[in-house]
Chain A
């Protein structure tokens, strides 16, 4: 069985995303003045999770075939 690179990529970005989302929830709004008042941790965390999820999805689909 061949090593599928999408698996570690998916895991890595899902974990990064999850950390950012959680961190985004617990930080006060003042922490985001430098990022123009946008809670970038939360939003970008969601994007990373979505990317990681898609990669994992592809890898798992290939595996079940």
Chain B
């Protein structure tokens, strides 16, 4: 590692299968493993929408449509793309909101890891938190992006191989899928929605059947809110604009390889629900019969502490030996979550805030040192957000809240920027501000049912609407913020003059970018065919768990 380019971009020479798996495991942090299991227990099979409606279609979209812009523009970061496409102020705004988001994400991982050490090894929560922060710090200092990417691939295998036996043992214990279904029917009929009515028997095991009304399913959301909020806005927003994941594809050796990265990653992603959601569903089924099973989720406030699902399930089923492997896998997942976010934080801070506003034209070594200092600073901020995460019983709820503020409006800015050359810098900037404000207003005026903390909403004063769950509130926050950004950007763009000529936008806007002829590639290397096959497979999965 000799230059700042090696530290931040890995010198662009990483093979596609490695960046594909890194792309996937950059997001396989605590949020994935613990959060999805927690959601599996709290919301049941509907959690699969995060994958089969959200992530997988979004990854196909990124590979087929978005990657040529990112790669072709040679931007080193998403904010830098915004600068090339729009202007300096849009980029700076995004750099700040993105930096905030990475800090929250790594803070959430840190919280989860501290909680795990606290529960399984009996460490004090504060000690565990600061110890995990110190480990991540050392880890990033030593290597930069290349080491982060290589480690992510290792961690991918660790997680898959460490958790597969848990799913096997759990399913065997409850009598296979059919046994799980009958136990979860019991869970559904014994739980109540906000109106105090029990759910229909299949509410925890079907992905779509109970989404006609928001009261019929544990997530408390009707199909429109889910498809629009989670599928379109949050998932597309996350996978298309989150620099943390896009960065993994941008280090591929050429544009074709970069486009294949998200598509390669989408294949294992499709199967992840079985690995991470099933343990949660098994855990809640066992909890409702804890007299016979000896397993129960702990209670936190007036609900279960769903975040404890994975650690407790490991402890319940894994004997000494395999338990070590399971814990290693979990630790690895936290490390990859934190390291990925902190790495993205230091890149954005150094290039997009420090180099462009604070200290221009310094030596390469200067920026490398700055990147390291930013790492320390980012970890310090993460520790603060880790304490904030204590207010939630499902880290996924908190994470999607952050995404609704940051990624949702940004996704509108990107869509318009890439597909409508008339979009202006003023329009984009006003749209982003408007979208973020709309998210804040919506969050401040609504609340999930039973919330006792201001982090969950209602901080403006009057509560206009109460949602059945945190997730339903997040989806609608995202919808409001995306729609506001989309509308404001169009309006202001029409009212202001274009400042960038067609020539300047070449490679940045779809209609002005020449497309490479990929006819000479074999079919399995052509993004469009790969994408179509993945979409077909994901449709089959949705139908199978209707």
**Interface set of A (CB-CB < 8 Å, partner B):** 5, 8-9, 12-13, 16, 19-20, 23-24, 27, 31-32, 34-36, 38, 40-41, 44, 47-48, 51
Contacts and interface: CB of A to CB of B under 8 A. Distances in A.
A24 B165 CA distance: 15
A5 B153 contact: yes
A52 to B, nearest CB: 10
B317 A35 contact: yes
Nearest to A8: B154
Contact of A36 (B18, B153, B157, B173): B173
B154 A35 contact: no
Interface residues of B, number: 18
Lowest 9 CB-CB distances: which A-B pairs, in order?
Answer: A41-B321, A23-B321, A40-B322, A31-B319, A44-B165, A35-B319, A41-B322, A40-B165, A32-B319
Nearest to B149: A5
Contacts of B150: 5
Contacts of B18: 5
B501 interface: no
Contacts of B322: 20, 35, 40-41, 44
A40 to B, nearest CB: 5
Interface of B: 18, 150, 153-154, 157, 161, 165, 169, 172-173, 316-322, 325
Contacts of A31: 319-320
Contacts of B319: 27, 31-32, 34-35, 40-41
Nearest to B318: A35
A43 to B, nearest CB: 8
Given A5-B150, A5-B153, A38 B169 contact: yes
Contact of B154 (A9, A32, A48, A51): A9
A34 B316 contact: yes
Contacts of A41: 319, 321-322
Contacts of A23: 320-321
A6 to B, nearest CB: 10
Contact of B169 (A20, A24, A35): A35
Contacts of A40: 165, 169, 318-319, 321-322
17 contacts: A5-B18, A9-B153, A16-B325, A19-B321, A20-B325, A24-B321, A31-B319, A32-B319, A34-B319, A35-B322, A36-B172, A40-B321, A40-B322, A41-B322, A47-B161, A48-B325, A51-B157
B526 to A, nearest CB: 25
Q: Which of B153, B169, B319, B321 has the most CB of A within 10 A?
A: B321
